[in-house]
C-alpha cells in the first residue's frame, strides 16, 4: 500500500542517519543502544517530524537531526519500559536487558537519551531554533515520565479510573512524543508560533487516537498480527479505554466473566476467550473507534489551512492509525 511504502521509504533514510550516530566505544554499549532500532519499528515519529517540516516547505535535511532525536527518545523509553515491566521480547527479539543484562541496558537507555540532545545541538539550525527544539523535547521527556508513573499507579490501584484520567495518562505517556515530533518538524521550517501550534495540535490528537486504537488491538487483536495472545491486555489487568468501557457497561454474568479474566495471569485460555467475546458482544469496538475518530477529526482540523503532498501524507497516516484492524 502507498501509505506504508512512504513510511518504509522514510524509515530507511532515518535508519541510515541513526546508525551513523549510534557508533562508539565500548562497542557493546552502542550495540545495546541500537538493538531495538536495528530489529524493527515503523519510525512513525521521525516520519511525522519530516512531514511536519515539509508541510511548511522546509527541507528534509534540516529535519533529520530532530527526527533521529525523537526516535532515540522513543527507544530510550522502550528500553526502560521493558525493564519496569520485566518484558522478555519486543519486535520479535529479546529485550535489551534480557540480551545484554540490566546494567548495560540502563546505560544504553541513558546513551540514547543523551545522544538525542547531542544530535539536535550538532545540527545546522539557528541558535534560536535549536534552543526551541531542546526545550520542547526536554518537556516531552518529563511528560513521558509522568505519564509512565500515572500508568503504574493506575495498575496498582483497585479503583477503575475515569475516561478523563485515562486520556490524561495517555496524553502524557504516548501523545507527548507525537505532539513534540510534529512541533519539532515545524520548528525546523519556521519560527511562526501559529504554524508550530497547529502541527503540535495535530500530533497530540493523532497520538491519543493512536493509543486508543492500540489499546483496542491489545484487547481484541488477532494474535497473528499483534504477536501477543488474544486478550493479552485483559489478562495483564491493563486499565485501557476498551477495558474500562467493558467493565462499566457489562451487567450480571457478563461482568463476572470479564472480571474473572481481568488481571488474572493464570486465567484459562477458554475463559479469556470467553471474556473477549463478551466484550465484543457489548459493542465496545464501535464505541472505542468513535472515541479514536473524535481525536482524529480534531487532528485533521489542525491542518485545515495547509495543502500539498506532505499534508496528504499526514492525513493518510492519521487514517491508517485510526482504521488499523483488530
Q: Can you give the pTM of this predicted structure?
A: 0.93
Nearest to 129 by CA among 42, 56, 205, 44: 56
pLDDT 10s digits, 249-287: 999 999 999 999 999 989 999 999 999 999 999 999 999
Give me the helix-helix angle, 284-302 and 241-249, nearest 10°: 140
Separation between Cα atoms, residue 172 and residue 149, nearest integer Å: 10
pLDDT higher than 60, residue 45: yes
Q: Which residue has the cell 486465567?
A: 267
> Quick one: which H or E segment has residue 194?
helix 193-220
Are residues 241 and 208 in contact, defined by beta-carbon separation less than 8 angstroms? Answer: no
* Percent of the residues in the chain that have a pLDDT greater than 70, as a whole number: 97
Separation between Cα atoms, residue 86 and residue 124, nearest integer Å: 40
198, 229, 275 from 265: Cα distances, Å: 43, 12, 14
pLDDT higher than 50, residue 58: yes
Amino acid at each position: 500500500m502507498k501509505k506504508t511504502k512512504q513510511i518504509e521509504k522514510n524509515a530507511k533514510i532515518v535508519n541510515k542517519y541513526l546508525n551513523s550516530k549510534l557508533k562508539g566505544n565500548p562497542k557493546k554499549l552502542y550495540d545495546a543502544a541500537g538493538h531495538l532500532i536495528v530489529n524493527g519499528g515503523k519510525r512513525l515519529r521521525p516520519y511525522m517530524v519530516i512531514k511536519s517540516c515539509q508541510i511548511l516547505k522546509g527541507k528534509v535535511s534540516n529535519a533529520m537531526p530532530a527526527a533521529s532525536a525523537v526516535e532515540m527518545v522513543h527507544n530510550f523509553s522502550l528500553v526502560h519500559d521493558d525493564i519496569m515491566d520485566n518484558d522478555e521480547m519486543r519486535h520479535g527479539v529479546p529485550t535489551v536487558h534480557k540480551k545484554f543484562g540490566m546494567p548495560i541496558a540502563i546505560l544504553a537507555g541513558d546513551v540514547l537519551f543523551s545522544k538525542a540532545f547531542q544530535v539536535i545541538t550538532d545540527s545546522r539550525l539557528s541558535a534560536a531554533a535549536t534552543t526551541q527544539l531542546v526545550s520542547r523535547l526536554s518537556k516531552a521527556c518529563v511528560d513521558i515520565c509522568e505519564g509512565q508513573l500515572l500508568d503504574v499507579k493506575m495498575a496498582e490501584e483497585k479503583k477503575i479510573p475515569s475516561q478523563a484520567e485515562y486520556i490524561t495518562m495517555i496524553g502524557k505517556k504516548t501523545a507527548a512524543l507525537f505532539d513534540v515530533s510534529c512541533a519539532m518538524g515545524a520548528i525546523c521550517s519556521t519560527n511562526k508560533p501559529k504554524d508550530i501550534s497547529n502541527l503540535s495540535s495535530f500530533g497530540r490528537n493523532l497520538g491519543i487516537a493512536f493509543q486508543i486504537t492500540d489499546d483496542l488491538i491489545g484487547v481484541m487483536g488477532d494474535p497473528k498480527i499483534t504477536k501477543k495472545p488474544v486478550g493479552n491486555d485483559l489478562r495483564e489487568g491493563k486499565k485501557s479505554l476498551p477495558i474500562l468501557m467493558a467493565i462499566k457497561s457489562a451487567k450480571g454474568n457478563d461482568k463476572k466473566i470479564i472480571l474473572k479474566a481481568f488481571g488474572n495471569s493464570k486465567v484459562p485460555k477458554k475463559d479469556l476467550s470467553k471474556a473477549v467475546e463478551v466484550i465484543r458482544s457489548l459493542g465496545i469496538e464501535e464505541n472505542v473507534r468513535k472515541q479514536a475518530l473524535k481525536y482524529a477529526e480534531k487532528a485533521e482540523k489542525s491542518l485545515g489551512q495547509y495543502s500539498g503532498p506532505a499534508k496528504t501524507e499526514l492525513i493518510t497516516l492519521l487514517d491508517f492509525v485510526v482504521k488499523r484492524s483488530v
